[in-house]
Amino acid sequence: MNAYLASEEIEQVQHLKFLGVCIDEQLTWNNHITHLLFKLSSALFVLNRISKVCALSTRLTTYHSVFHSHISYCILLWGSTSEMNLLEVFKCQKKALRSILHLKRNEPCKVHFQKHKIFTIYAQYVYQLLLKIKKNECIFSSVGESHHYNTRNGHLLRLQQNKLKIKSNLPSQAGITYFNLLSKPISNLNMSAFKRKIKTELLALAPYSFEEVKKCLPTLKLDKNK
């Protein structure tokens, strides 16, 4: 099927690069991950060079500016890529952390992600998803809007039923899945408190998988002193 713009046929391509994001026709994000890993490898080289001569505060600042910035950039789009792709990025992220903290090659990193308050790639993606849904919560319908009586799950946001995996991985759909795992007191927080709460909990969790996040979100509770 041909597409036209102002009577001119639009050329169909298998992949293209737009604003630094490599988009393929199947939205697998494989090309973008390859591009991202190349950038992270270059950033890792910089971190390795400065790790021997700079103070920790400088190393952490450099990590966020030259390395983590690539991970967080447009992660709402490519964060739905395959687990294998995410794992490759996460391996590179752990190498960067070991470099700036002078850790041994196979030393566990989880406690260091927590101590230095650094998002793992999994936490970064879920954090961005939840903020997107919270900011645009008013445009989504709830389960309770389909009838006139109160139900236990009436406050949950309604997911669109999609048979195509490519649609179920859209940020809005993936975000609603995670948002609905939160208790009503958490999801009802104002934007500022919500952002602070989710960020604090995900940094403390430092998840190594999305399953860790899914197990954690339903257990979140409001602080007693709030």
Give 61-79 pLDDT, tens digit per residue.
999 999 999 999 999 999 9
Residues, the chain, total?
Answer: 226
- Burial letters for 34-48: b for 16+ Cβ neighbours within 10 Å, e otherwise? ebbbebbeebbebbe
* pLDDT for position 199: 97
* pLDDT for position 26: 81
Is a pLDDT exceeding 90 seen at residue 195?
Answer: yes
Interatomic CA distance for residues 126 and 36, integer angstroms: 19
Helix (H) / strand (E) containing 24:
strand 21-24
**How many CA atoms lie within 13 Å of 121's alpha carbon, on the beta-carbon side?**
28
Interatomic CA distance for residues 50 and 58, integer angstroms: 9
Which of 92, 116, 140 delimits the end of a domain?
A: 116
**Structural domains in the chain (count):** 2
- Model confidence band, residue 29 (pLDDT cutoffs 50, 70, 90): confident
Range with lowest mean pLDDT among 6-10, 11-15, 137-141, 142-146: 142-146
Average pLDDT (125-146) is 84
Which of 87, 116, 145 delimits the end of a domain?
A: 116
Domain identity same for 90 and 145: no
The two beta strands, 4-5 and 8-9, are antiparallel
Classify residue 10: in a domain, yes or no: no
**Nearest to 127, CA basis, from 72, 67, 86, 185:** 72
Structure tokens at 115: 């101590």
Classify residue 168: in a domain, yes or no: yes
Range with lowest mean pLDDT among 10-14, 55-59, 198-202: 10-14
Q: Which residues contact 156 (CB under 8 A, 6 or more apart)?
A: 142, 143, 180
In the beta sheet, which residues pair with residue 24? 15
Is a pLDDT exceeding 70 seen at residue 94?
Answer: yes
Alpha-carbon Rg for the chain in angstroms: 20
Domain identity same for 110 and 42: yes
pTM over the 0.85 mark: yes
Interatomic CA distance for residues 43 and 165, integer angstroms: 33
Range with lowest mean pLDDT among 52-56, 85-89, 100-104, 147-151: 147-151
Range with lowest mean pLDDT among 37-46, 91-100, 162-171, 199-208: 162-171
Q: What does pLDDT average to over the chain?
A: 88
Domain identity same for 52 and 88: yes
* pLDDT for position 147: 57
**Nearest to 86, CA basis, from 46, 166, 32, 128:** 32
- Cα separation values, 179 from 126, 203, 218, Å: 9, 17, 10
Which of 116, 139, 173 delimits the end of a domain?
A: 116
Interatomic CA distance for residues 35 and 46, integer angstroms: 17
**Which of residues 129 and 222 earns the better pLDDT score?**
129
Report, in this order, helix, strand and coil percent for the chain, each rounded to 5: 60, 5, 35
Range of the domain at 170: 119-226
Q: pLDDT (tens digit, 9 = 90+) per residue, 141-186?
A: 776 555 555 566 656 887 776 655 555 567 778 899 999 999 999 9
